Amino acid sequence: MSFSTYTARRKLNRLRRSACQLFTSEAMVKAIQRLELEVEARRLLVRKDRHLWKDIGKKPTNEGFFHSLKFLSISLKTIYGELISLESNSDALGLAMFILQRLLWNPDIAAEFRHPRVPHLYKDGHEEALSRFTLKKLLLLVCFLDKAKESRLIEHDPCLFCVDAEFKASKDLLLAFSRDFLSGEGILPRHLGYLGLPVSHVQRPLDEFNFAVKNLAVDLKCGIRLVRVMELLVQDWSLSAKLRLPAISRLQKVHNVDVALHVLRSKGIDLKDEHGATIDSRDVVDGHREKTLSLLWKIIFAFHVILDEDQLRDEIGFLKRTLRTKRSLASLRTDRGLQLSPAMTKVPYEHSSTKVTLLMDWVRSVCDFYNLKVENFTVTFSDGRVLCYLIHHYHPSLLPEASVSHSTTQTVECSPRGRLELSCSASDSDSSFDSMPTGPNGTCQLCFKELLDNEKNNFKLVNSAVAFLGGVPAMINPADMSNTIPNEKVVMSYLSFLCARLLDLRNETRAARVIQGAWRKYRLKKDLQLYKHHSAVVIQSAFRGHAARKREAKMRCAAVIIQRWFRASVARDTERNMFLRMRHAAVTIQATYRGKVARESLKKRHEAATVIQTAFRKYAAQRHYFVLRKAATVIQQRYRATVLEVRKSVVMLQAAYRGMKSRRNIKQMHQAASVVQRAYRAHCQRQQYLKLKLSILTIQRRHRATMAAKAQRTQYLEMCSAAIILQAVFRGQQVRKEVACRHQAATVIQSAFRKHREQNRFQAMRLSAVIIQRHYRSCVLKRQQQEEFLLLKHSAIQIQAAYRGWCVRRDISRQNRAAVVIQSYWRGSVQRRIFQTKREALWRGHRSRRLNDNPKIVKLRHRLRQVSASIREEDKLCNKTSSALDYLLRYKHFSYILEALKNLETATRLSPECCERLVESGATNIIFTLIRCCNRSVPCMDVITFSIQILLNLSKYHKTIEAVFSVEDSVETLLDLLQRYREKAGDKVAEKGGSIFTKACFLVALLLQDKHRAQEVMKLPKVLDRIRSIYRLTARKHKMDAERTIIKQKINASINGSFFVSATPRKSRPAFAPDWVLRKDKLKDIVDPLRAIQMVADTLSIPYLKL
């Protein structure tokens, strides 16, 4: 995990703690208690015709997504007190699933009101309890979001509501929710304010303004971004109220920039550029690049908010103390005693800013560890060594010191004659040239291009390390730093960010540094005490070194052999672990993709349900409106027919009288109105003329400005296009050069590596040949001695066998004569007993037939005799078996093979003699060969089904199971079959009641019932891993199918109101012994694939894996 990721997680944990502190504050806890009392007392109640967890189109979660996803995720984690598994901060689908399962549903309430016998049926009161729970959580969520926003919970203070949200105020959101869902509630925000949960946030257009800067000459013209920068630096949030939005006209932009410049003047900052010209607001509005950039540098060096002076002084003191201790220890180790380090005369760095002076002291303190002299912020940093040492000092593993290039243009300069000479401009005690090759005149033979490449390599190391650290902007470029004088302001700004980041991360490394300092002090004291005995220690160490070297010479030969074998074992384990990780990653990717597809399907169905519900409600409302309008029309017609006749006569009388009075008054008013109208019309005509003249002038001014802007933009676009073409050509040339250099370097590295690999391979083969020769010679000598011994032993055995054979034959001849007499008497007795039993049975049968026979039984007996007499010889089971074996062994046609397998399956299921004949003919090898040659087509699946059933019948019979197991690679073939058909386990059901997958599992379990066979299989490579993998995938598929079934049933429940869960199938134990019958109801094979693979795991005593 990189430091940038670690910092992001630390900020997120800090944000969670702040949210928890806000949520558990005393005022918030009391307000939450009051809200729960209000809801439980039913003073806040959801309407009975509204079901929050059923009506998908009107759910409050749709309104909740008006909020920003970041605010919403933090609030849900705080309220529920648990972490939500989200892929990212913008995982809207994960939040939707959490709201659907935890906000709109409560498993505890469902368990309390669940019906004891009927699944997915709930008792009375379930809907009311769930409505109260959802209402409390939803109101608490909205109020907490408003409070978190008002208290600036997130540091950069993002928008609470989305930019395209319908509501931009918490009060409006609560009013809309109250209007649509609550019963008898007028103004919900006022009610919540009485409970101590007031909402007051209103999102303004300024909050939605995009403050990102992409072009300094264009984006800073409006002045809004400059004012935002000053707010962040000064922490005065009232500056935004002085802005004029939207900043369209030039006067508005000048006013906004003046607000920012006024703050700078109040802080005593001189607003003059490098040439002494005053930076005015009009310069920024007009897009003056030089003055705008000067203003930004003024702001950066005036505030320097990223550096902490106290922390920096503490770090400088610590570095100086550590350096003194380190030098003291070094002087003792070199047998010079405790000597004072030479005082180095440093010219103090002077600057108007205290923080810049401290920054230079910090850089010098770190570079003193590497004997590197730093004088300024320009030339010293042009080769990248200082930056590399700064990062190496705090994180040595991130940037090793050996990778830093010491041969740069700062240590070697080009002379006027074209040769290279040493230069001590940046280092007065650099020892990096001790091992440099020199020419006859003492000059270095390195070329200037190699020095520039070393500098670029240093800057590449710095950029890669800074990218891993994070928090430091990419402000430096090797082209702007190497072979030139870097910009002092850029270097100082970059060092400020780097120093702040390193000091921020030093808390993780400070403990180790403190321990190292204490250990060095302890070693310094101990070395001072033991300095007098140093001579004796040197003599003892020399003797011990001599003895150790002698022991090492003896053990080196043995160690080389042990290391070679150990490295081979480590390489084998590494390759195996890499394969297992790749397989696990592939399985994880497949599971993630299948989950994504399921979620997308569920989302589409939700949207379709919303559209259907909306259309149906619209149709119902239209029908109700038409009925009311028709009734109102009928009532109005009846009323007008009775009342208007009387009113008409009265109105006529009143109209005649009023007309006479009105005509008299109008005549008098006409005369006065004529005078007034003439004056008013003259005034209106003058006003209209002046307004028309002003409009014409405005249009002319806008038209001329538009034409000038178009001409200026056309010229600017042409210049941009030409510059882009030049840049593309130059960059392409640079990239081609770099690729050519890398190809050449890769070729050299590959040749060296191949040479090393061939040498190692030759050494290994030579050692193997020596070992084989030694072993072969010992075997030949052993065989010669063994043959001599066996010859003597064979002679003695022949003599002993001849004598013992004569004695045994004499005894056996006597025993045979006695046994013949005993057997003859016993057989006679048995035959007499059998004859007596048969005679009695025949008499009982005859007697029973005479007493119980009827015409139907007589007819059936006669029919059986006719069928037995007319049966053909080829229809007998033994002959069918022979013909099927002949077809299987001779013919290659698919239909013949399938018919032969059907006959053999019937024969092996009904007769043990047929099982033995099949094994004797060697057909088991043919059956396994057929299984290996089949693909996933339907005919091949039929062949595999009958083949597996035949092998099952043979494995159930104790005399033929060994023949099935002894076939070469039988277990590996069955495992390949399980791997191939695991995806369709349980789908392709064969005629005997089990799929190929389950039948193969049953066959493996039958073969491995014997402990010796199971031990032999467990010794095979990767068998247990393959079975674990098949079990893991089968269990995951079974779990996903179960979850998908539940989701489908819930969707059906949301439409139909209830859903049905299929009953759990009855578990049956499969038969491990043959039945020898022709009845299908005796079949007890397993159909569930999960139970089948569990049976295999139980047979091998493999523990179940937890998904």
Each residue's pLDDT tens digit, 974-999: 888 888 887 554 444 433 334 788 88
Structure confidence at residue 334 (pLDDT): 63
pLDDT tens-digit series, residues 1039-1075: 888 888 888 777 777 665 544 445 444 444 555 556 5
DSSP 1071: P
Q: Determine how β-strand 420-422 pairs with β-strand 412-414.
A: antiparallel
Give the Cα separation of 520 and 337 in Å (integer).
16
Structure confidence at residue 534 (pLDDT): 67
Q: How many CA atoms lie within 13 A of 732 on its CB side?
A: 6
Non-local CB neighbours of 524 within 8 Å, separated by 6+ positions: 325, 328, 329, 332
Whole-number Cα distances in Å, 127 to 113, 115, 130: 10, 14, 5
The parent domain of residue 53 ranges over 3-194
pLDDT at 569 over 70: yes
Query: Which has the higher per-residue pLDDT, 260 or 870?
Result: 260
Residues 371 and 473 in one domain: yes
718 in a structural domain: no
Structure confidence at residue 299 (pLDDT): 80
With cut-offs at 50, 70 and 90, classify the pLDDT of residue 532: low
Residues 1012 and 979 in one domain: yes
Structure confidence at residue 430 (pLDDT): 37
Query: Which has the higher per-residue pLDDT, 1083 or 741?
Result: 741
Before 473, cis peptide (omega within 30)?
A: no
Residues 299 and 323 in one domain: no
Burial class from Cβ neighbours inside 10 Å (0-12, 13-18, 19+) for residue 980 reads middle
Phi/psi of residue 904, nearest 5 degrees? -65, -35
Annotate 870-902 with three-state secondary structure: HCCHHHCHHHHHHHHHHHHHHCCCHHHHHHHHH
729 in a structural domain: no
- CATH number reported for the structural domain that contains residue 440 in this entry: 1.10.418.10
Q: Is the dihedral of CA 84, 89, 93, 95 positive or negative?
A: positive
Residues 285 and 359 in one domain: no
pLDDT tens-digit series, residues 728-761: 888 888 888 888 888 888 888 988 898 888 888 8
* Cα angle: 974, vertex 978, 983; to 5 degrees: 160
pLDDT (mean) for 835-851 = 80
The answer to whether 956 and 1072 are in contact (CB under 8 A) is yes
Residues 374 and 249 in one domain: no
Chain-wide mean pLDDT for the chain? 79
Non-local CB neighbours of 70 within 8 Å, separated by 6+ positions: 89, 154, 158
Burial class from Cβ neighbours inside 10 Å (0-12, 13-18, 19+) for residue 145 reads buried
Residues 284 and 409 in one domain: no
* Cα angle: 766, vertex 769, 775; to 5 degrees: 145
Structure confidence at residue 54 (pLDDT): 62
Structure confidence at residue 1054 (pLDDT): 64
Structure confidence at residue 111 (pLDDT): 84
Q: Which of 315, 387, 298 is nearest to 358 (CA)?
A: 315
Query: Which has the higher per-residue pLDDT, 399 or 63?
Result: 399
Buried b (16+ CB within 10 A) or exposed e, 671-708: eeeeeeeeeeeeeeeeeeeeeeeeeeeeeeeeeeeeee
Query: Which has the higher per-residue pLDDT, 441 or 15?
Result: 15
677 in a structural domain: no
pLDDT at 413 over 80: no
Give the Cα separation of 915 and 1076 in Å (integer).
11
DSSP 1063: P
Residues 466 and 515 in one domain: yes
Give the Cα separation of 906 and 908 in Å (integer).
6
Return the bridge partners of 444, or none: 420, 438
Give the Cα separation of 1084 and 1097 in Å (integer).
19
The end-to-end CA distance of the chain, in Å, is 26
- The distance of Cα 1079 from the centroid of its chain, to the nearest Å, equals 54
The structural domain count of the chain equals 4
Give the Cα separation of 816 and 809 in Å (integer).
10
pLDDT (mean) for 878-884 = 76
Whole-number Cα distances in Å, 728 to 480, 716, 725, 731, 1098: 19, 18, 5, 5, 67
Structure confidence at residue 422 (pLDDT): 34
Residues 287 and 313 in one domain: no
Given 251, 269, 303, which residue is the final one in a domain? 303
The kind and range of the H/E element at 614 are: helix 534-852
Residues of the chain above pLDDT 70, percent: 86
Structure confidence at residue 417 (pLDDT): 34
284 in a structural domain: yes
Structure confidence at residue 136 (pLDDT): 87
827 in a structural domain: no
447 in a structural domain: yes
Residues of the chain above pLDDT 90, percent: 1
Structure confidence at residue 1059 (pLDDT): 44
Residues 240 and 292 in one domain: yes
The answer to whether 116 and 108 are in contact (CB under 8 A) is no
DSSP characters for 168-223? -BHHHHHHHHHHHHBSS-S-HHHHHHHTT-----B--TTTT-----S-HHHHTSSS
Rg over alpha carbons for the chain, rounded to the nearest Å, is 49
Give the Cα separation of 64 and 99 in Å (integer).
10
Given 303, 338, 370, which residue is the final one in a domain? 303
Query: Which has the higher per-residue pLDDT, 897 or 1082?
Result: 897
Given 252, 277, 303, which residue is the final one in a domain? 303
pLDDT (mean) for 750-777 = 89
Whole-number Cα distances in Å, 684 to 671, 692, 1063: 21, 12, 89
With cut-offs at 50, 70 and 90, classify the pLDDT of residue 59: very low
With cut-offs at 50, 70 and 90, classify the pLDDT of residue 419: very low
Structure confidence at residue 312 (pLDDT): 83
pLDDT (mean) for 619-636 = 86
Give the Cα separation of 555 and 696 in Å (integer).
105
Give the Cα separation of 653 and 657 in Å (integer).
7
Whole-number Cα distances in Å, 349 to 362, 364, 374: 12, 10, 10
Give the Cα separation of 1075 and 910 in Å (integer).
8
- CATH number reported for the structural domain that contains residue 1006 in this entry: 1.25.10
Residues 251 and 390 in one domain: no
Residues 242 and 326 in one domain: no
Structure confidence at residue 988 (pLDDT): 41
807 in a structural domain: no
pLDDT at 629 over 80: yes
691 in a structural domain: no
Structure confidence at residue 149 (pLDDT): 84
The answer to whether 205 and 224 are in contact (CB under 8 A) is no
pLDDT tens-digit series, residues 232-256: 878 777 888 888 888 888 888 888 8
Give the Cα separation of 461 and 386 in Å (integer).
12
Phi/psi of residue 31, nearest 5 degrees? -65, -40
pLDDT tens-digit series, residues 159-189: 888 878 888 888 888 888 888 888 877 788 8
pLDDT (mean) for 405-413 = 75
Residues 947 and 1016 in one domain: yes
Structure confidence at residue 563 (pLDDT): 86
Query: Which has the higher per-residue pLDDT, 1078 or 806?
Result: 806
